Structure formats: C-alpha cells, structure tokens
A and B are shown apart, each in its own frame.
Chain A
Amino acid sequence: MLQVADLSVYFATRRSLAQMARGQAAPPVKAVDGINLEAARQQTLGIVGESGSGKTTLARAIIGLAERTAGDIRLLGLSLPPKLSRRHKDLLQQLQYVFQNPEEALNPYLTVGETLRRPFITLAQHTRAEADTAVQQLLTAVRLPATYAQRLPSQLSGGEKQRVAIARAFATHPDLLIADEAVSALDVSVQASILNLLSELQHEHHNTLLFISHDLAVVGYLADEIAVVYVGQLMEVAAAAALFAPPYHPYTEALLSSIPLATPDAAQQQIRLQGDVPSQINKPSGCPFHPRCPRYLGEICARETPPWQTHANGKRIFCHIPLSELTRQQAQLIPLETPETGVNTL
C-alpha cells in the first residue's frame, strides 16, 4: 500500500561568513534521515517521537508539502512525485491529510459548506448540487448537524472544527489518510471521541491510516503497527501489542516509562533521559541516541551504526545490544499495563 524507502528530507541552512570564506557548503538540517517504512492496506501505522523528531516532516514529504531530498515513496505501487504540483488529481484524491491545529485548518472566511464542497468539485468533478448533497451526508458521517454547513469556523468549537477537517479529508475516499497530531490540540475529553471517529471512518472507508503523535498511549490505542522515530531516524518498528512487551529499544523504554498509568500503585520504572535532543545539523555518530542512552554499551555505540535486529514476534530494533540481553535487563521493570486501558478510562 504505502512504501517509504530511504526517505530523507534535508533543509538548507544559511551559510555563515566563515563557511563562505572557506568555500564550504552549509550543513543541512537532517529532518528525516533515511527512513524505511511500510503500511499495509486498511492498517493503521502509528508514528511516535518527541517534538522535533521529524515525524511531521515525514508526513509532509509523503503528502507533498515538503520536498524530499532522497528516497522513494510509493502508493499502491506507484512512485509519488516529490512536488505537489506534479501530482495528478487522481493521486491527490487518494492521499489526504488532517492537520494538527484545527484553528488553522479551516479558512475563517469560508463557511463549513463552502470548505467541504471543494474536494467534491475539484477532485471528484461533482456538480454544485451533487456536492451540496454530499456535504450533508459528510456532516452526518462526522456526527455534526447538517445545518452546520452554513456556519463559519468561528462559530464552531475546536472539536467540531477537527470533525469538519476530518470530513474534508474523507470526502474523496482516500486510500491513505495522514493524521498529524490530529488530537494533540484538543482537550482530553474531545480527544477520545475524535480518535473513535477516525477509527470508525477508517473501518467504513477501508483506508490506510498514518497516525502521527508524540503520545505513545494514544498511538497504542489506535495503531496496528508502531514506528518510533528519534532525530529523523527509526529506532524501533513493532506491532502495537509487541511494542509494549520487552525487549524494547532503550529509547522506546524511556518513552514507555513516561506514560501515566491509570493505576497509581503500579510499579513503573521512571527513566529520565539526560541532556537535550541532539541538533539535526550535527548529529551524533554511530547510534544517534548514544549520548543520552541509559544503556550505553561503550565506544561501539558512538562509532558504528547499529544493526537492525529482528525479534521472534516481528519487532525490529535498531540497537547494538543483543535482544536477549535487552529482554533480560528490561523484564523486571515493565509497566505491564497496556495503554488501551489508559485511554478507555477517559
């Protein structure tokens, strides 16, 4: 369905005076640095990482808003042109996007109906009347009253705006929907209903969902497979159930330890990472996580790129530490609570 191969997105930086004098090129910001991913049809692929890890850039490269530097992105076996302007309307129809901030996702000067009508007219070549009927159905599908078509975004709440944005994304029956932090701007009670709406619509439309979030609990609730990103590189790829059992990548382990648990007396290992996320201009050698890794082995981590190790349950970990060793060290510190219970208690 979706294949991302060796995808890199670099952003140019301005050259300093010293670099100009020496005739050097400015080092680029490596927002996405050689990512390989696959998502099967109707599957939900979750992408987790802290802010600045390149998750959004990855999504924008797929949708065409950020131009890729290297690599290939294939949808249904067809290679996607890097530039949005080079993509045919049939392709645009198959790929849709839900933005992070519902406040900015809708044009404040257009009514909900005018906004929702557009994809039908531009991409599906409906007539105006057909489009208006379709808008009514669409609003009902996202549980909004059909009268909302006459409203302006300023007359909607944040959650309602995000429902409209989701409706717009589903208008053309996309094969792949990318939801970039689709719930992080909403308050917790609204988050759950938006997540449920996304997964219900996905069920009806049989689309693949690429769900991006910094919140491992939210991703664990929705995703079939989860990819963990750190400074533009993958650290671990695992089926959702497998991700929450050892062995973990040391970075995933740290992320897991930060999920708040619903049971206050559950034993949870607190891992506090030292230092800051490294600069993406001047990334650490070897394993990019080595300067902060609580399970730092030694010089090998700083010198050599780690291997991809595959566990029996299918999870893949980008680490020098043997999986058996990771399992042994991590077995006793596990928050055995699955994150599903964490979300359902909302």
Chain B
Amino acid sequence: MTSNGSSLPTQLSPPSSRRSILRELFARPASALGTTIFLLFVLLAICGPLLAPYELNQQIYSDARQAPSATHWFGTDNLGRDVFSRVILGARDILTLSGLGTLLAVLSGVTFGLISGYYGGLLDELIMRFFDSLLAMPALLLALLLLGILGPAVSSVMIVIVVVYTPIVARVVRSVVLSVKTKAFVEAARIQGESLWRILFREILPSVLPALAVEASLRFSYAIFLVASLGFLGVGVQPPSPNWGLMVNEARQHVSQLPWALYFPAGAIAIVVIGVNLMADGLKRVWQGGTVGK
C-alpha cells in the first residue's frame, strides 16, 4: 500500500489553521468589526508614510492652529503640524512598540509558564510567588517605578511591557500545562525517551496555543494602552515622536482652543484598543468551541 494523501476525501485542515480562524472571526459582527479595525491600523502602520499628506514634524507656520478642513483633515496643532499625518504616522510607532513588547512578554511568559508548570515543586513556587508579587502592584505604578530606574527610552518601555505582562502570560500557560502534563500522550513521550525540549514545545505547547493566542491579543490591547499612558505621562517615548499618548499630552494645554489636536489621537487610541479587544474576545469564542453566529 502506498501513501497517497490526495485520495483521502477527509483531508481536513489542522485544528488551528489560520484561514479558518479568520473566517470564524468574521462570522460574528463584533469580532469582524474588531478584526477589521485592527487590520486597518496594521495597514496604516505599514503604508503610513505613503498615505500621510505631510511630513511628521513638518511645521507649517502659516497653517498653525487651524480647525479640520479640506487641506488639514484633522486640523493642525499649536506648532502648525498636520494632526492627520501625525495620527497616521503614529500608528507604526505605537503598534510596533506594543506589538514587539507583547511578543517578548509572550515568549518569556511561555518559557516561565512551561518550566514552572512542568517541573512543579519548589521551582514552581519560587517563580509563581515572585510573579504574584509583581502582579500585586498596579501595572502603571510598576511601569513608572521601572521607568524611573531605567530612564525614559523606547527600550525601557519595551522592558516595562515585558516585566508587567510576563507574569500574566506565565500564569495562563502554567494553568494549561498543569492540566496537560499528566495526560497519557505526554507520559507516552517520556517513555519514548523524548527530550525535555521536545516534550515542552512539541507535545505540550500546541495545547496551550488557543489560550495563549487569546491572552496575547488581550495583552496587546493593554500594551497599546500602557504605551499611550506612559507617553501621556511623559515618562515613556519622548517628543517629537508621534506617540498618540504624547500628542494628547501636548494638546492638553490648548484644549479649549484646539480640541481637535486632542480628540483625534485620543480617538485613535480608543478605537484601536477597542478593536483589538473585540478581536481577542472573538478569538476566545472561536476556541471555546461555541457555535459561530449566534
């Protein structure tokens, strides 16, 4: 008998195929909206420089302090910078910073969660109690503390995201590992003399992925908010960077005369956070196996 995959009528895709997840996300209105918003902002982040009508820090003194119009869709700020261009160009800044930060937090969270859950015992206690103590502090307070030590820089903001979110990701991963590690297929792998690396990443990790994807997208939305908040407080990314939080802070002083310079970046933060949140919620529903569209 020879192997011939194409003769098999039930050649189903693996349970976590990217295509079917997207399809299911678009099956519900809320998650479809969220996903669309997220993808639009990703597009903005990629093609921002092509779409923005003006340069990032281009100051047009003659047009300063203008209300939204045909030439300046979102108006101009105190220094004569085009708010529309800055909001568009800011998308790349905030999405890469929070995206990269979340990615690193997920990687370290997965590593700690897998090790902590699989080994258990004293090591698990040490790691988890340390993480508990980090979680006991409000995220923003912890972030301010860290930035006070590290100094305001892009890399510091990244480290803050990793430190603040690693414990949360690790907890989620650990809880799934605890339920999976006693399953027979993991014991079978141990009997077969599989390496620890293989057992953790090839046997256990796939079972963690659904919960992890939901948690990661949720963390991503909070990371966007955190980066914006730190920018607003002036301790994160420094001017003249087009960080939305920073822009809100700068516009705050002139809010009575130039409200548009505040509303548009603030609106961008709100929309992208809501969008990613809706998408995370949709992902959760996809994996919780609920019927779609009800």
**Co-assembled chains A and B:** yes
Interface residues of A (CB under 8 A from B): 63-65, 84, 89, 92-93, 95-97, 99-101, 104-110, 118-119, 122-123, 136, 140, 145-147, 149-152, 154-155, 165, 168
Interface status of B289 (Cβ within 8 A of chain A): no
Report 24 cross-chain contacts, Cβ distance below 8 Å, ordered by A residue. A63-B191, A65-B191, A100-B184, A104-B184, A104-B185, A105-B184, A105-B188, A106-B185, A107-B185, A107-B189, A107-B203, A107-B206, A108-B15, A109-B14, A109-B16, A109-B207, A110-B206, A136-B3, A147-B7, A150-B8, A152-B14, A152-B15, A155-B10, A155-B12
Majority DSSP secondary structure for residues of B touching A: loop
On chain A, the residues within 8 Å of B191 by CB distance are 63-65, 84, 92, 95-97
Q: How far, in whole Å, are A92 and B1 apart by their CA atoms in the complex?
A: 30
Q: B138 within 8 Å of A by Cβ?
A: no
Q: Does B121 contact A (CB under 8 A)?
A: no
Q: Say yes or no: A149-B3 contact (C-beta < 8 A), given A89-B193, A92-B192, A92-B193.
A: yes
Check B183 against A109 for contact (C-beta < 8 Å).
no
**Shortest beta-carbon distance from A230 to chain B in Å:** 26
Q: Give 9 new A-B contacts, CB below 8 A, not counting A104-B185, A107-B189.
A: A89-B193, A92-B191, A97-B191, A100-B184, A107-B185, A108-B207, A122-B194, A147-B4, A150-B8
- Nearest B residue to A90, CB-CB: B193
**CB < 8 Å: which of A99, A118, A136, A152 contacts B187?**
A99
Closest chain A residue to B193 by CB distance? Answer: A92
Which applies to chain A's interface (DSSP): helix, strand, loop or mixed? helix
- The answer, among B5, B189, B207, for a CB contact under 8 Å with A118, is B189
Q: With a 10 A CB-CB cut-off, give which of A64, A100, A118, A145 has the most chain B CB atoms.
A: A118
For A108, list chain B residues within 8 Å (CB). Answer: 15, 185, 207
Nearest residue (CB) in A for B206 is A109
Contact residue among A136, A150, A165 (Cβ-Cβ distance under 8 Å from B1): A136
Asked if A146 meets B2 with Cβ closer than 8 Å, knowing A109-B206, A168-B188, the reply is yes
Q: Tell me if A101 and B184 are in contact (CB < 8 A).
A: yes
Please name all residues of chain A whose beta carbon is closer than 8 Å to the beta carbon of B10 when the two chains form the complex: 151, 155
B190 an interface residue at 8 Å Cβ cutoff?
yes
CA distance A123 to B5 in the complex (A): 27
- Shortest distance from the beta carbon of B69 to any chain A beta carbon, whole Å: 55
Q: Which residues from chain B sit less than 8 Å from chain A, CB to CB?
A: 1-5, 7-8, 10-12, 14-16, 183-185, 187-195, 202-203, 206-207
Whether A154 and B5, one on each chain, are in contact in the complex, defined by CB atoms closer than 8 angstroms, is no
List the A side residues contacting B202 at CB < 8 Å. Answer: 110
* Chain A residues in 8 Å Cβ range of B11: 150
With CB as the reference atom, state the residue of chain A lying closest to B12.
A155
What are the 10 tightest A-B residue pairs by CB atom distance, in nearest-first order?
A109-B206, A99-B184, A104-B184, A107-B185, A92-B193, A105-B184, A146-B1, A104-B183, A89-B193, A150-B5
| Residue among A65, A104, A123 making CB contact with B192, cutoff 8 Å | A123
Which residue of A65, A96, A118, A140 is within 8 Å of B194 (Cβ)? A118
The answer for the CA separation of A106 and B184 in the assembled complex, in Å, is 7
What is the bound-complex CA distance between A109 and B210, given in angstroms? 12
- CB nearest to B4 among chain A residues: A147
A147 near B188: Cβ-Cβ < 8 Å:
no
Q: How far is A147 from B1 in the complex, measured between Cα atoms in Å? A: 9
Shortest A123–chain B CB gap in Å is: 6
Question: How long is the Cα–Cα vector from A140 to B1 in the complex, in angstroms?
Answer: 8
- Verify A147–B8 contact, CB threshold 8 A: yes
Q: Which residues on A sit within 8 Å (CB–CB) of B193?
A: 89, 92-93, 122-123
Which of chain A's residues have a CB closer than 8 A to the CB of B5?
Answer: 147, 150
A108-B207, A150-B8, A154-B15 as given contacts; A65 in contact with B3, CB under 8 Å: no
**Chain B residues in 8 Å Cβ range of A110:** 202-203, 206
Nearest Cβ on chain B to A106's Cβ, whole angstroms: 6
For the complex formed, measure the closest distance between the CB of B123 and the CB atoms of chain A, giving whole angstroms. 16
Q: Closest approach, in angstroms, between the C-beta of A40 and any C-beta of chain B?
A: 23
Instruction: Give every chain B residue within 8 A of A123 (Cβ-Cβ).
Output: 192-193
Are A65 and B1 interface neighbours, CB within 8 A? no
Residues of A within 8 A of B15 (CB): 108-109, 152, 154
Within the assembled complex, what's the spacing in Å between the Cα atoms of A165 and B190?
14
Q: Smallest CB–CB gap between A96 and chain B, Å?
A: 7
Q: How far is B11's CA from A123's CA once the two chains are assembled, in angstroms?
A: 30
Q: B14 contacts which chain A residues (CB < 8 A)? A: 109, 152
